[in-house]
Structure 1
Amino acid sequence: MAVELTEGATNRYDQAKAVERYFGQGDFIYETQDVPVPAEGQDYVDQFLFETQRGYCDNFSTSMIVLLRTLDIPARWAKGFTQGEMIETLDETRDIYEITNGNAHSWVEVYFPEVGWVPFEPTRGFDANIDFIEPEVEGEEANTEEDLEEESSEPEVEDVFAELQGDDEQLHLVPDK
């Protein structure tokens, strides 16, 4: 399935975007109540992709990661919170937001050599607020799987958003319209 979804995609970013877009098409439904639970011995991802196509962010993000990993694309699962609801403006530069359990969310991060972990949003009804353009590396060979394993075994992982915002020469961020 992953190979079919990414047919024609020539780089890691385009492959990840093709898989991400897949969840916004077809019969996938975002819902948080009465989400089908796999039967004993049934695979969580298979059930979501091929049977129910109903679920919440954990179903969408886990399924995208499995599809990416079948293509040997390093992907990880991230969980955190959405921005919440603005409840008060203090001044021109500061607002107060209320963040509750209802703002819990999971998403996908894909590893790009020379850049790091980049977020993707497969959950139908949610919108990632950045686009990523993979820089061309001149005169250097792409990292090997061995290099990637060394890098991913480092004990600290930098904040992906700080990394993305601070590197305008290698990375171009474009807000979604």
Structure 2
Amino acid sequence: MYIVLEGVDTSGKSTQIELLGKKFKHAIFTKEPSSSTFGMQIRELALHGNLDNTTQALLFMSDRANHTKNLILPNKDKLIISDRSFISGVAYCSSLDFYLLLNLNLAIAKKPNLVVILETNKEILQNRLSSKILDDIENTGVMNLLEIQKKIFTIVEILNIDYIAIPCDKNKDEICEIICSKIKELN
């Protein structure tokens, strides 16, 4: 089963991945961009390289294609839990046609069995962003991040992917239990 955690920056995906790692020790944990040398370079460029949106999207797609071929597909019979997926790749891209980008990603990536969306709102985002040094993506502003969140919901609905939305301001252990229950229910 391929499970994906989605949500905009500061929604708590990394925290949940860490907690889930303690609950599902047999699972394969991954992220996008991947942990490959190429993926880590792309992540750094995306956060601090002042890349234009199209270049960033195409680099992410290159890493995604390789990651799908080398990790996701060979392990399709195992539990894979990922911090982000092509859904974020499409949602964060504003410079290319939405449906073109969605179809290109569907050609190179595997659709998840379940998407967990850690949902935020304006107040939570303002609070969380105000307490940290912002990267290039976070610097695009609260309203842009909320538009990205809307796109995440649109994508899972268009593709008819099973998903749950959890308010990201719930207690982190409570969020983890909700996710664990859903995974066990599907497994």
TM-score by length of 2: 0.28
Whichever structure has more helix as a proportion of its residues is 2
Bigger Cα Rg: 1
TM value normalised by structure 1? 0.29
Task: Give the structure with the larger strand fraction.
Answer: 1
RCO higher in 1 or 2 (8 Å CA, sep ≥ 6)?
2
